[in-house]
Structure 1
Amino acid sequence: MNTRTGKPEIDVLSPGKLGPLTLRNRVIKAATFEGLTPQGVVTDQLIEFHRQPAAGGVGMTTVAYCAVAPDGRTAAGQLQWTDETAPGMRRLTDAIHAEGAAVSAQIGHAGPVAASKHIGYPALAPSRAFRVTTQNFSKPATVADITRITEAHANAARRAVETGFDAVEMHFGHNYLISSFLSPKVNKRKDNYGGSLENRARFARETARAVRDAVGDKIAILAKLNMDDGVPGGFWLDESIQVAKWLEADGSVDALELTAGSSLFNPMYLFKGDAPLREFAAVMPQPTKLGIQTVGKHFLKEYPYKDGYLLDDAKQFRSQLTLPLVLLGGITNKKIMDEAMNSGFQFVAAGRALLRDPDMVNHLIEDATTESLCNHCNKCMVAFYGGTHCVLRVPNPTVHKR
């Protein structure tokens, strides 16, 4: 904070350096699964989904979720890196660049989060276990699987360069494959990828290294890292800080986006706010519908919402690292953005607030007192079954441009 002016030393609306990339401002559209690729290829609807916040002023938008391999999808129809998807990816990046924003691709492997019956492949995990959420057993990943998926991340990064992306974000969170290796609750292995934290972090570090070696500094490289899983016996802050230190020392990432929660055990730990149980049950087939109606409140727990709700935990990383950090969680107004900048963060990432109002950044430029209209009902979490959107927002065919 500048003691003379009372303003942040870094203005969130000023340009920000991210590896080899300079963003026009420090607000990133966070990866929010779009549900707009039913055939597994880029659609006009997906392009429009990202074009709107780009036209609305964000520095960068993040395309989620781009699987690095066929068995890395969470569900059928999800984007993956193939020759068939490349032309659509280029159309998407061209559309975002035309609006003056950068575009990042979230790359990863679903691992135990995948629903085997929908993707036609076993759900890989560190160790065998039955997953209530997907109603299937996970298959222990072999060392050959780990090597294959590590190289698949590198290939995905190469394809991202070829199709015009400015950055990639490796998904090391939410108990997706690499995150599940980090978690002692999920990872029961006895080999070099299990046991000690150094072993459990090996997959993440090898993957980040492979991506860096594949693309050098042609694009920015981020990792979305769990600070904690939000479940007893899971990955926790002290271990996550050490993994972050290793990634920084390895020189393999340009920034970390800090997240939390487990898609296997406690998804609402990330989102906070209302748990839309009735809405989830309404779109689910039996017997999943009955399960949600009877025991859903034990899985979709409700946590109180406040702006910047991950900030206190994320500050512990900021004090231990020099690496640029992206603050996620409850980024809804200029006040919390300024607080993030004052706390030493270089970027902020907004998800639900930009679903509610894709023009949020332009509105903040015009009036810094603008508040997001998002009420954290979380019904957008259910909407992705038919295309992610804010259920409270009336679609506006004309996007406000500066």
Structure 2
Amino acid sequence: MTSPDPFSPARLGPKSLRNRLIKCATFEGATPDALVTDELIEFHREVAAGGVAMSTVAYCAVAPEGRTDRHQIWMRDEAMPGLRKLTDAIHSEGALAAAQLGHAGAVANSVSNRKKALGPSRIPAPMGMSVTRKLTTDDIAEMVTTFRRAARIAVDSGFDGLEVHCGHNYLISSFLSPLLNRRRDGYGGSLVNRARFAREIIEGVREEVGDEAAVWAKLNMFDGVGKPGPGRGGRLSGFNIDEACEVAQLFESDGHLDALEPTAGSSLLNPMYLFHGQPPRKEFADAFHGSMRLGLKAMAPVFLKHYPYHDAYLLPLARQLREAVSMPLILLGGITDRASMDTALADGFDFVAMGRALLREPDLPRRIADDPTVTSRCVHCNLCMPTIYSRTRCPIREGEVPDPTASAVG
């Protein structure tokens, strides 16, 4: 059977997309007042003009305490006029707009937010140099309502797609983790119990929006803590691929999602497992101040590990998820050229998601469509990572650091 062309039209749930390329969520650092800015609008308009079918806005927190800091949008009535301008700008370029809905949980900065960070248990919340408050069952019910309310605001603001963030040890992901979730009630212990929170939120979002938007979940395959292989999870390890396949099957049986977007790594414990490539240890520490800067400099080799980059680097894990479910999957992680797109689609993935490559070249999809031999100029230095605390950008593209490939061009 011939695999689809990455630039052919496709459907994601109730929505038609002009091709199979999605701009994945990469926090833009362009909302200093927790509201949409002209800079944020231009960021996504440029990406939409560059040829993707859908651009995902991150990070759309469902509640004020669910932000990694107070300079992030949280979904409320006050934000709607700006969000509408943003989705209108994306639509004007022929693309669809998606909102990544999430709650940062233990990754939230309680000092910046002036609100206690939340978790499934009392666990460290290093951004605020504190510990989380354990959610009660009443809190959990309210959180489902909070996600529903955020989904309604997003759809009423013109978003066509909703990504429920179940990755990176943010709040939902931390419930899935046997390392972070130490509960002894119906939301802890067995995998089915640990997945209950995610399933209730996803069900609530789908009930709220129906067919008004495509709904998918970003699901961790491996937290990057312990071993990812068969049968190696347990209390001393994070969420792994075996558990991810079981949770994906639960999601599929529930029937509330249009797709899954497999991801990996932990913003709390091991962020580089998501990114791969050079770890920007000095630059990451320099993005902070005071004790956080000192702590990150001391712990950088442990916290920011080095995983060699290769194109489609999450594909080996994602193939196991592909075998476990039949629902549509969106592959991210090192999608940089026509070859990686074709490989993903040939392996049964329905869409591909691009991130860092679009920071370097927002028009890369359009150029690949015109010339399949075009490859990304992203060098996987990951210097874009620390810029999320100021304004997300590629420092090489902006001329802030030398382009290591420049001497080879002539």
Is the shorter-chain TM-score for this pair beyond 0.5, marking a shared fold? yes
Q: Which residue of 1 aligns with 2:74?
A: 80
Determine the structure 1 residue equivalent to 2:408. none
What is the CA-CA distance between 1:293 and the residue it aligns to?
2.1
2:290 alignment partner, SS class: coil
Between the aligned partners of 2:169 and 2:389, the Cα distance in structure 1 is 21
Q: 1:59 aligns with which of 39, 53, 61?
A: 53
Amino acid paired to 1:96: I
The corresponding residue for 1:345 is 349
1:3-402 paired onto structure 2 within 5 Å:
9-232=3-226, 233-394=237-398
Deviation at 1:319, TM superposition (A): 1.2
> CA-to-partner distance for each residue in 1:289-311, whole Å, 9 max, x for gaps?
22222221111111000000000
Indicate if the aligned counterparts of 1:127 and 1:138 stay in contact, CA closer than 8 A: yes
Q: 1:283 Cα shift? A: 2.5
8 Å CA contact 1:380–1:391 kept in 2: the answer is yes
Q: Are the aligned partners of 1:174 and 1:263 in contact in 2 as well (CA < 8 Å)?
A: yes
Alpha-carbon distance between aligned partners in 2 of 1:367 and 1:293, rounded to the nearest angstrom: 43
Distance between the aligned counterparts of 2:188 and 2:385, measured in 1?
Answer: 33
Q: Are 2:122 and 2:131, in contact at CA under 8 Å, matched by a contact in 1?
A: yes
Return the letter of the residue paired with 1:167. Answer: G
CA RMSD of aligned residues (A): 1.0
Q: Distance in 1 between matches of 2:150 and 2:240?
A: 29
Q: Is the 8 A contact 1:35 1:388 kept in 2?
A: yes
Partners of 1:102 and 1:35 in 2: how far apart?
Answer: 21
Cα distance in 2 for partners of 1:386, 1:133 equals 16
Paired letter, 1:197: L
Question: Which structure 1 residue ranges, 4+ long, deviate > 3 Å from structure 2?
Answer: 131-134
Residue identity (%): 55
User: 2:141 is aligned with what amino acid?
Assistant: T
For the residue of structure 1 that corresponds to 2:335, the secondary structure is: coil
Letter of the 1:123 partner, please give it: A
CA distance in 2, matches of 1:391, 1:144: 45
Residue 42 of structure 1 aligns with an amino acid whose one-letter code is: V
Q: CA deviation at 1:239?
A: 0.7
Determine the C-alpha separation between the residues in 2 that align with 1:315 and 1:130.
33
Q: Secondary structure, in 3 states, of the residue corresponding to 2:132?
A: strand
> Could you say what secondary structure the match of 1:207 adopts?
helix
| 1:2-53 Cα shifts (integer Å, max 9, x gaps) | 4xxxxxx200110111000010000000000111000010000000111111
**Matches of 1:60 and 1:158, distance apart in 2:** 19
* Letter of the 2:286 counterpart: A
Q: Partners in 2 of 1:180 and 1:48 — Cα distance? A: 33
Q: TM-score, normalised by structure 2?
A: 0.93
Q: 1:223 aligns to what SS in structure 2?
A: strand
- 1:107 and 1:133 map into 2 onto residues whose CA distance is 20
> What are the ranges of 5 or more consecutive residues in structure 2 without an aligned counterpart?
227-236, 400-410
The alpha-carbon deviation at position 130 of structure 1 amounts to 2.5
Rounded to whole Å, the distance in 1 between the matches of 2:336 and 2:369 is: 14
Report how far residue 133 of structure 1 moved.
Answer: 4.6
* SS of residue paired to 1:319: helix
